[in-house]
Every structure is written in C-alpha cells, then in structure tokens.
C-alpha cells in the first residue's frame, strides 16, 4: 500500500511539473510573438504586426495580459487601415483577431466580446465594400 502511495505522489508531481513547463513555454512563446508584432509595427510593417499579434493570441495562457494587449493592437491596426481607406487590409486585421479567439477555444471561451465586435465590424465592412 505504501509503495502505491509513493508511486501516486510521484506521478502527481511529474504531472504538475509537466503542466508548469508547458505553461511556461507557451507564455515565453507568447511574449516572443508579441514582441515580433511590436517591432513590425514600429517599423511600419502592419501586415507583419498582424501576424505577430495574431500568433501571440494563439499562444493563449490564462492570466496573461498580452492576450488583451494583442487584441487591442489588432483592433487598432484594423481601424488604421479603415481610416486609410484600405478595407481589404482592415478586414484582414479584424478577421485575424476574430479567428485568433476562435482558435483558442477549449475548456473556456476567451474573447467573446472581441468576437462579437469583430463580427459586427466585418459585416459592416463587407456590406460597405459590396456597395462600391
């Protein structure tokens, strides 16, 4: 009985360590992708910025503030292109934001508000471009 208890404790400890390592790795990759988005945006490369921020959201880790910051950046890129009159690129930004949150759904459903905002904006832009 004592041996089974020791084995169970060891298995639980190994599982906890594995989860912490996976979480830490994902958080590190999330920061790396966010930084790539920041550098691209600073260089004026909005498309590469979209890719970086989108990838950052794909590396979703509960409790990380980067998910919300990346979502705000994608939304602002969409607004930037919208104001510049480039509706195709604005749609890319909004669709990237929406699809990022769809991609991280699992036991939880983060980003419901962002999805709703994006769907409204996408519908508006598609309708607007169809009239042109």
Buried residues in 41-76 as b, exposed as e (16+ CB within 10 A): beeeebeebbbbbbbbbbbbbeebebbebbbebbbe
Residue 71 above 90 pLDDT?
A: yes
pLDDT at 62: 83
User: Sorting pLDDT into bands at 50, 70 and 90, what band is 130?
Assistant: confident
**% of residues, the chain, pLDDT over 90:** 86
> Which domains occur in the chain, in start order?
2-131 (1.25.40)
**% of residues, the chain, pLDDT over 70:** 100
pLDDT at 123: 95
What are the tens digits of pLDDT across the range 81-121? 999 999 999 999 999 999 999 999 888 889 999 999 999 99
């Amino acid at each position: 009985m004592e041996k089974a208890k020791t084995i169970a404790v060891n298995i639980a400890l190994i599982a906890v360590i594995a989860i912490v390592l996976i979480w830490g790795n994902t958080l590190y990759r999330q920061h790396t992708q966010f930084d790539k988005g920041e550098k691209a945006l600073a260089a004026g490369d909005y498309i590469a910025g979209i890719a970086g921020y989108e990838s950052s959201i794909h590396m979703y880790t509960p409790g990380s503030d980067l998910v919300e910051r990346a979502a705000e950046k994608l939304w602002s890129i969409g607004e930037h292109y919208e104001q510049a009159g480039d509706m195709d690129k604005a749609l890319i930004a909004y669709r990237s934001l929406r699809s990022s949150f769809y991609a991280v759904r699992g036991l939880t459903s983060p980003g419901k508000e962002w999805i709703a905002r994006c769907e409204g904006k996408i519908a508006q832009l598609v309708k607007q471009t169809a009239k042109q």
